[in-house]
Chain A
Amino acid sequence: MGLLEMEGLTKRFSGLTAVDDVDLTVERGETKAIIGPNGAGKSTTINLITGLLEPTAGHVYYDPPDEAAADIHELRTISDEERSADQQQRLDELRSEYSITGLEPHEVVQTGISKSFQTASIFPGMTARENVQMAALATEHGSFKLNFLRRQSSFDAVDEIATEMLEAVDLLRDAGEEAASLPYGDKRRLEIAIALASEPDLLFMDEPTAGMSPEETQATVDLVERLQQELGLTIVLVEHDMEIIFSIADSIAVLNRGAIIADGTPDEVEGDTDVQEAYLGGVEL
């Protein structure tokens, strides 16, 4: 069953409907791509899930066990009016248990979802190691702790995670360098290391290869594939580069004007006429 389930996710900004009644499932262990023309609502959808924005309507469920997921599916198909009181109660219970809608971003991260940003969102004045330690801290001791008198040096577990992640993205030798001084490609990899140090089960990657040279792009793709295998991640990818998508994605969801117009395997999506129309010849598939 799906690791992440979106049900009727909607976001309206006074007059503009940016995300329109989106139902989407992300299966455990898969790499799912979300594509769509500019302004289709991809970033907004991700922001809704990660808690940066609050949805106008709809729910997001995370990691429900099979039985609960099945119940949710079933109860969802019955409209609000037709649902009996018991059914409504059951749905409410399930929602309070597994819904991550409306959580603060840091709470979302603590449940196991992480995000790597489109721009390298790092801490420029701190060393690479410190950058990753930040995320490792949160993984180690949760979203807040009153440990302001403890010496940093006694946090071995944090250091371990940091070292592991730096190694995973091949930045260990630069661990002591100031992040701002790293070349852009390294910054992007540091970005990924930070996202990984949260030890997520689900990783959102917002245009990870934007602005990269072909070599860097290939390196990033290799990295993503390797990480998925080594760490067993589920990855949701927002990308414009169709080659990448079709080479690594297990399934593709297509957004246009805030709504899902296609959702399936690469082959299915490739042949979909709605998709072709939405892109209107702008893309080589």
Chain B
Amino acid sequence: MSDPETDGGTAVSEGPDPEPFGGQVGDLYRTVRDHELSVVVGSAVFLLFFPFLLVDGLEVVNGLLGDPGIGGYEGLASLVLIYGIIVVGYNLLLGYTGLLSFGHAAFFGTAAYVTGLVSSTTEISFLGLSATMPGITSPLAMILFGTLFATLLAWPIGFMSIRRSGVYFAVLTLTFGQMLYFFALGPGAGITNGDNGFSDLNVGELFGFINLDGLVPFVGKMEYVFIAVLFLLALTVANRIINSPYGLIFKALGENEQRVEFVGLNVFRYKLMAFVISGSFAGLGGSLFAIHEAFVHPSTALYWIQSGDFVIMTVLGGTGSLVGPVFGAFIFEYISNVISGTTLPVIGQVGSLWRLILGAVFVAIVWVFPRGVYGGLVDIKNFIAGQAVDALRSDESSPPAEPEQGGDD
């Protein structure tokens, strides 16, 4: 556990995990495991099965439990991956660098709007000026614009917010996010269509011939495959970043910011990079969200509750690893979309209580289990594996024969 008494900075109690096993076998396992290619391939395989597990797999469990309604549905898989992209990037900022932002919806929402706007042909207006949107319907181009915009937005917001630390940093990010929210709702309605929401998205064919509504055998909609590929890309990039000098520096910033400054590194710039990179990831997620939902509204895209949800997902899954937050996204979306429609024992109809449930779990994790759900699963895995290894070791060696020291009784 990292020492909470750090020399400056705003470290969370749990930074990234140290390695559990030693020894040659452990090394080989780790070499294979950590090798980028195997991570990618392994994830790709899993992603192919994900919708199946979510829908058909859970359907089986659902049946066994007497049909309380816990089965997944196809759109859920896409949502999980979309939020997964966002929180993986967000964790670079929170779990590694130790900066808590309550304003990342700004990048999510802006990208969503830009993605939608770029694909439409409406005329937007603001302060007397007006322009016609280009109607670019290529999904890749739409996403490119959205993510680019989010990244560019993250620069000034990050630049200003990072000037302060701790709660003031959080408050600054919140204010910027809220400013955008109220702008989209009010004065900017000429661009965003305000409270009515923006629905003039036109998603064209990928590469000019692949229809995102088409079906891929076994896996599901083409759109899901598209999202899954981008998720994989995002995961790979994040993994690269963590294994680059940046990973080391971000981690160090979260543990002892002052020391990083004093080894000669420009702390401000690195924090800004962490912020911008996480903003990019949020932007990518926002772009995909717009395509998936085909509708963008300020209250889901830019409101601070969305920012808060990112925090919850990340912490829920566990801030100590690359993929932990993805688990959090899964749990969050599952509870929010599926469990909320079920009737559980004791509680009864869950309905809108799901936020309460999540809130309680969230507090519990912050309080006593900062490694999060994924961290917990890893611990269980290590424990079991450790027991297994011990069992194997004790089988091989026979206990040394010890001559009994007789007493003089």
Contact = CB atoms under 8 A, between A and B. Distances in A.
Nearest to B237: A149
Given A106-B267, A134-B260, A139-B264, A126 B245 contact: no
A198 interface: yes
B245 A125 contact: no
B343 interface: no
Interface residues of B, number: 36
B18 A152 contact: no
Contact of B15 (A105, A117, A125, A143): A125
Interface string A101-114: 00011100110001
Contacts of A119: 7
Interface in A15-59: 50
B258 to A, nearest CB: 7
A135 B263 contact: yes
A151 B265 contact: no
A194 interface: yes
Interface in B261-283: 261-267, 269-270, 273, 277
A147 B265 CA distance: 13
A148 to B, nearest CB: 4
B264 to A, nearest CB: 3
Given A104-B261, A106-B261, A125-B2, 14 more contacts: A105-B261, A109-B262, A109-B264, A121-B7, A123-B256, A124-B2, A125-B16, A134-B265, A138-B263, A147-B245, A148-B244, A149-B241, A151-B240, A194-B263
A225 B246 CA distance: 35
A134 B262 contact: no
Interface string B27-41: 000000000000000
Contacts of B3: 124, 180
A143 B264 contact: yes
A126 B2 CA distance: 9
Interface of A: 50, 104-106, 109-110, 114-115, 117, 119, 121-127, 130, 133-135, 137-139, 141-153, 155, 158, 178, 180, 194, 197-198
B255 interface: yes
A47 to B, nearest CB: 11
B7 A198 contact: no
B243 interface: yes
B277 A144 contact: no
A155 B246 CA distance: 13
B305 interface: no
A261 B237 CA distance: 58
A187 B136 CA distance: 58
19 contacts: A105-B261, A109-B262, A114-B262, A121-B258, A121-B259, A123-B251, A123-B252, A124-B3, A124-B256, A125-B18, A127-B18, A134-B252, A134-B265, A135-B264, A143-B269, A152-B245, A152-B247, A153-B243, A197-B263
B201 interface: no
Max chain A CB contacts within 10 Å: which of B249, B252, B255, B264?
A: B264
Nearest to B246: A148
A145 B273 CA distance: 10
Contacts of A110: 264
B353 interface: no
B357 interface: no
Contacts of B265: 106, 134, 137-138, 143-144
Interface string B1-25: 1110011000000011010000000
B245 A123 contact: no
A191 B1 CA distance: 19
Q: Give me the 4 closest cross-chain CB pairs, A-B, nearest first.
A: A109-B264, A138-B264, A135-B263, A125-B2
Contacts of B244: 147-152
Contacts of A109: 262-264
A223 B3 CA distance: 27
Contacts of A114: 262, 264
B402 to A, nearest CB: 33
Given A115-B262, A125-B18, A180-B2, A134 B237 contact: no
B384 interface: no
Nearest to B4: A124
Contacts of A125: 1-2, 15-16, 18, 251, 255
Nearest to A135: B263
A194 B255 CA distance: 15
Interface string B114-147: 0000000000000000000000000000000000
A115 B267 CA distance: 17
Contact of B18 (A134, A147, A178, A197): A178
A18 B246 CA distance: 38
